Structure 1
Amino acid sequence: MSEVRIVGIDGLPEVGAGDDLAQLLFATGAELADGDILLVTSKVVSKAEGRLVRATDREAAIDAEAVRVVARRGRTRIVENRQGLVMAAAGVDASNTPSGTVLLLPEDPDASARTLRKRLHELTGKRVGIVITDTFGRPWRNGLTDVAIGAAGVSVLEDHRGRVDSHGNELALTVTAIADELAAAADLVKGKTSGRPVAIVRGLAHFVTEEDGDGVRPLIRPAEEDLFRLGTSEAIREAVHGRRTVRSFTAEPVDAGAVRRAVAAAITAPAPHHTTPWRFVLVESAVARTRLLDAMLSAWNRDLVELDGWDPDRVARRVRRGDVLRNAPYLVVPCLVMDGSHAYPDARRAAAEREMFVVAMGAAVENMLVTLAGEGLGTAWVSSTMFCRPTVRSALDLPASWDPMGAIAVGRPAAPAPSRPPRDPEAFYTVR
C-alpha cells in the first residue's frame, strides 16, 4: 500500500515586506524530511517580497500586470499576465489586504521557489521541493482550485506516453500535471480562510529532484498549441486584427472542410430584402484553376493592350499581380446574384439597389476572410475577376446571372506577415 500525507503548517505569523519566509517556516517547528514537498500560497511569498502596493483603482493595477486580454464579460477579465499565466484579474488580489492596497503575484514565482528552497536547505539540511500556488478558475467547470505558478526541485509533469496500461494498451497522450495536482491536494488542508498558507506533502519523494529544474514553464501550453486561447469575442477580434493579405503560401494542401466552414460564416452576412445574394465557387481542381487563370490572363493581355493602350512591359507588371492566385493552393471565386432585387425604372434608384447587394457581398467576403484567419489560413482577395466577368463565367461554366466579385487565394502563409502599425480609429469616424 502506498501512502501520501498532507500536513498543514500552523503558527506562521503575519508576513511583511522583507521577512525571511524560510526562517519564519523554520521557527514554526515543523519537521521537514528529505523528499518533502512544500506547497506555499503565493500571497505570503508576495508579502515577503514587498508586492503589496497602494492602488485605489484595482482595474488600473490589473492593466499594469496584464499583457493581453483573453476574455471579458462585464468587469470580469481573464488576462495573460507578465508571468505568462492566463488567469482572472492578472492575479491582482484585493482580499485580506489593508484598504487602499492590492497584492500582486511574485515578480518571478519560479525564482521565489528557488530562493525559498535554497534557504530551507541552509536552515534544515533537507532536500525538499517547493511549489508556489495560486487560485484559478477553470473553463467549463464551476468552482476554484489551486494550481502551481512557481516551482523548484519538483517534476511538474509526469509523461506517461509510451508506457503500457493494465490492459496492455500503449499510452499516447497522457501527461499528468503533477504540480497542479499537488497544489489542489494541499489546498484541502490549507483552505481559503484558515490562515494556514503552507502545507507539506510527504510520500512523493520520487517527484523531488536534485536540481531546481525549469519551474512551471513546462506546464504553460505554447500559444501555437493552445486551441482555447481566446474567448469568443476576443477570438473574433484577434482574427479581425490578425487578418492580413498573404501573397506567399506554402505547398501544404488546404483543408476543404475549413473553406466550407468559412462559407457557412460568410452566408450569415446581412442582405437586403431577405435575399441570399452570395454564391461561392470553390476552385479545388488544378485543371479548373489553370483553365480559369489562363483564360483570365489572355483576356487581361488583350484588354490592356487593345482598350487601354498599355505597352507590353506595363502589361507584364500588371498581370504579374495575378501570380498570387496561380501560386495559392486553393481559390474561391465569390459571386453576386441579384435574385430578389427590386426593379426601378429610375437609374439612380436602380444603382442604389445594386449597391445594397454589393455591400452584402462585401460583408460575406469579410466574414469568409476572418473565419479563414481563425482557421490559421492566409488569404488574399484579388479583384481581377471583376474586370473579365464573361471570361470567368465561361471558364467556370457559371450561369449568366452570377457576377464574379474578385477571387480569394487561400493557403498556409509561407512567412509571418510584416508588422503594421495600428491605425488610429479616430481618423475614420466623425461624431455629429
Structure 2
Amino acid sequence: MSFKDEIKIIGLKEIPLIKKGDNISDIIIKALDRNGLPLQDGDIIVIAQTIISKSSGRTRNLNEIVPSEKALEIYKSIMPKTKLHGLPEKKPQLIQAILDESEQIIKSQHVLITETNHGFICADAGIDKSNVEGEGIVTLLPKNPDNEAEKIRITLKNKTKKEIAIIISDSFGRPFRLGAIGTAIGVSGINPILDVRGKKDLFGYELQTTIIGQVDSIAAAAQLVMGESDEGIPIVLIRGYNFEFNEKTSIKSILRKKEIDIFRDNEVNMINKLLKNRRSYKLPFAPRIVDKKIIEECIELARWAPSAHNGQFWRYAILERDKTRVNLIDKMNEKLRNDLQKDGKSKEFIKLKIERVRNNFVKAPILIILCLDSLDLEKYPDPERTQNEFILGIQSISSSATYLLLAFEMKKLAACWYCAPIFAKDIIKESLQLPDTYIPMAFFTVGYPLKAVKTPNRKELKDILFEPII
C-alpha cells in the first residue's frame, strides 16, 4: 500500500445528545448530510465510545451499587494516596463498578489500572463520568466494541453502498507519559495493525520489527477534533488515508500477549518474584524516615494470614525510636548477659554479642513486636492437648509474620525477623505493660535498605522433599 501526503480530519457537528435506543448509524448519515459530506469509498468513521455506550444502555447508577468487602478494602488502601496526589475521591461504589468490569487489577495506587473483561489495560476499567447526564451515572465500555463497529459499518454500507471502516475510540492514559490520547477499542473494516516488516527504508535497509498501530494513530488524530470536554463532536470523518479493507478484523490483534508483555507482570510472576526476592536484612539502614502509616498498611495485610480455628491470635505493637525502646533493649540485654555468663562465654564474646544485639534493635528505624494472644486458644483438661494447642497458636502467628515480611518486600522495605523476645518474655510484658494473655514471640526490625543482600544458600528440592515409608 502507499500513503497519501494529505489526510483530512473532519468533525461532524450538531450531533444531538445520545440516549438509550438511539440509532447511531442514522445519526451519522444525518450528520454527514448536514455537513455536506456524502460518504466515499475508503472513508473511516471514528466514533467516541461514550455515545456507543449510551445508545446501547451501557450505563450504571453508582448510587444503586452496594460495594463489596474487597471494594471497601481497596478504598481504604488508595484513599491516602489519592489525597496525596490531589485527585478526586474514588468512592467504594465506583471501585465496585470497576471490579465488576475488570478481569484483574494490575496496579492499585492513587489510580486503579485494570485489565478489562475485553483485555484492555486502562484506568478504572474505562468507566467514565464525563459527558453523561444524571447524578452518579457513569458509562461503561461497550460489551463488544468490535460487534458495535461491525453493525454500524454494515448498516452504513447497505444505505450508502460505500466500503468504509469504523473505529470506536476512547481516551486512555499511557505508561511513562502524561496525557490521555485517543485509542481504538473496536474496529470493523480495517486492520488494527499495519505490518511493514520486509519493506525497505530510504537507504534500502529492510525493516525487521516495525509494526504500526494504525487504528490507534487514527483514533489519536481524531481525538484532536473530538476533544475531551464540551466540544460536542463525538463523531469524526477521516478522509484520504489509504488502508487495506478487511471485513474480518478484531481489536484483539493489537493487544500484546501477556507472555511477551515486559511491562506487565502477571500474578504468577509477581508472586514468584516476591517470594524469591525477599531477604532478611539487618544493619545498616538508610537514614530515611519510615512512615508509620506504611507499617500499619503492612500489618493490615498481615492480618489476612490463615490461622487455626480462624483464631487470628497475632497482636502487634510498633516501637519507634524513643526511650521506651532503648530501656527495653537494655533490660533484655542484662538478662542476655547473665545467660551468657552462665553458659561460660568469655567477656569479649559477651561484649560483642550485647553490642550487636543492641545495635540491631536500637538503631533500626522501626521495631515491631509480635505477640501470641493465648486468650482465644482452646482450653483442654490435659497437658498434652494444651501444649499442642499452644503450638497451633505459634504456627498461626508465624503465618502472619510471613505475610508481614512479604508486605514489607512489596513496600520496598527491608526487614529481619528475630526470636529474641522468646527469651525475655517477662521483661517485655512488664516493660510494655502487656495484658497477661499476650506472650511476646518475635521482633521485626524495619527500615529502608542501604545495601544489597546476597542470596543465601538454599537446599535443593530433593533435600527437603521425602517420601514416607509405607
- Identify the TM-score tier after normalising by the shorter chain: 0.5 to 0.7
SS across alignment from 2:190: coil
Deviation of the 1:123 alpha carbon: 1.8
Change (3 A) 1:167 1:243: closer
User: Aligned residue for 1:377?
Assistant: none
User: In the alignment, which residue of structure 1 is the partner of 2:168?
Assistant: 132
1:157 aligns with 2:193: yes
Q: Structure 2: how far apart are the matches of 1:348 and 1:266?
A: 36
Contact 1:35 1:128 in 2 (8 A): yes
Aligned counterpart in structure 2 of residue 216 of structure 1, from 251, 264, 269: 251
What is the distance in 1 between the residues matched to 2:254 and 2:53?
A: 21
Q: Is the 8 A contact 1:135 1:146 kept in 2?
A: yes
Q: Which amino acid aligns with 1:270?
A: Y
Cα deviation 1:18-57 (Å, max 9, x = unaligned): 1111011111214211100001100010011111221122
Specify the code of the residue in structure 2 equivalent to 1:201: I
Report the CA distance between 1:208 and its aligned residue.
Answer: 3.0
Q: Which residue matches 1:4?
A: 7
Kept in 2, the 8 Å contact 1:34–1:205? The answer is no
Q: Which residue in the other structure is 1:83 paired with? A: 118
Contact 2:18 2:51 in 1 (8 A): yes
Residue 387 of structure 1 is matched in structure 2 by none
Aligned residue for 2:113, secondary structure, equals strand
| Counterpart AA for 1:2 | D
**Partners of 2:342 and 2:8 in 1: CA distance:** 86
Q: Which has the larger displacement, 200-209 or 38-47? A: 200-209
2:306 aligned with 1:270, yes or no?
A: no
| Cα deviation 1:315-365 (Å, max 9, x = unaligned) | xxxxxxxxxxxxxxxxxxxxxxxxxxx9934569999999x9xx9xx99xx
| Structure 2 residue 21 is matched with structure 1 residue 18 | yes
Q: Secondary structure at the match of 1:53?
A: strand
Structure 1 residues 107 and 407: alpha-carbon distance in aligned structure 2, compared to 1, 3 A threshold? same
| Alignment partner, residue 255 of structure 1 | none
The answer to whether 1:106 aligns with 2:142 is yes
Q: % of aligned pairs identical?
A: 29
Q: Which consecutive residues of structure 2, in runs of 5 or more, have no partner in the other structure?
A: 64-92, 286-336, 361-397, 411-455, 463-470
- The equivalent position to 2:459 in structure 1, one of 377, 390, 407, is 407
Match of 1:64 among 93, 96, 100: 100
In structure 1, distance between residues paired with 2:340 and 2:459: 30
Distance in 2, matches of 1:266 and 1:135, equals: 38
Q: 1:194/1:242 Cα in 2 relative to 1: closer, same or farther (>3 Å)?
A: same
Distance change >3 Å, CA 171–CA 348, structure 1 → 2:
farther
Offset at 1:406?
4.2
Give, in whole Å, the separation in 2 of the partners of 1:205 and 1:240.
43
Give me the whole-angstrom Cα distance separating, in 2, the residues matched to 1:11 and 1:84. 33
* Structure 1 Cα separation of the partners of residues 268 and 46 of structure 2: 37
What displacement does 1:83 show?
A: 1.0
The structure 1 residue matched to 2:340, chosen from 305, 326, 344, is 344
Change (3 A) 1:136 1:408: farther
Deviations, residues 257-305 of structure 1 (Å, cap 9, x unaligned): xxxxx7xx566x323x659xxxxxxxxxxxxxxxxxxxxxxxxxxxxxx
- In the TM superposition, 1:413-432 aligns within 5 A as none
Q: Following superposition of structure 1 onto structure 2, how do residues 89-238 of structure 1 map, counting pairs within 5 Å?
A: 89-97=124-132, 98-192=134-228, 193-209=230-246, 211=247, 213-230=248-265, 238=268
Name the SS of the counterpart of 1:181 in structure 2.
Answer: helix
Change (3 A) 1:347 1:170: farther
Contact 2:190–2:249 (8 Å) recurs in 1: no
The answer to whether the 8 Å contact 2:190/2:243 transfers is no
Give the number of equivalent residue pairs: 277
Match of 2:40 among 22, 25, 33: 33
Q: AA paired with 1:81?
A: T
Tell me, yes or no, if the aligned pair for 1:37 and 1:208 is still in contact at 8 Å.
no
1:33 is paired with a residue whose SS is coil
CA distance in 1, matches of 2:222, 2:344: 75
- Which amino acid is 1:148 matched to? A
Distance 1:168 1:238, change over 3 A: same
What's the Cα RMSD here?
A: 3.6
What is the CA–CA distance in structure 1 between the aligned matches of 2:183 and 2:151, rounded to whole Å? 20
* 1:9 to 1:224, Cα distance in 2 relative to 1, 3 A: same
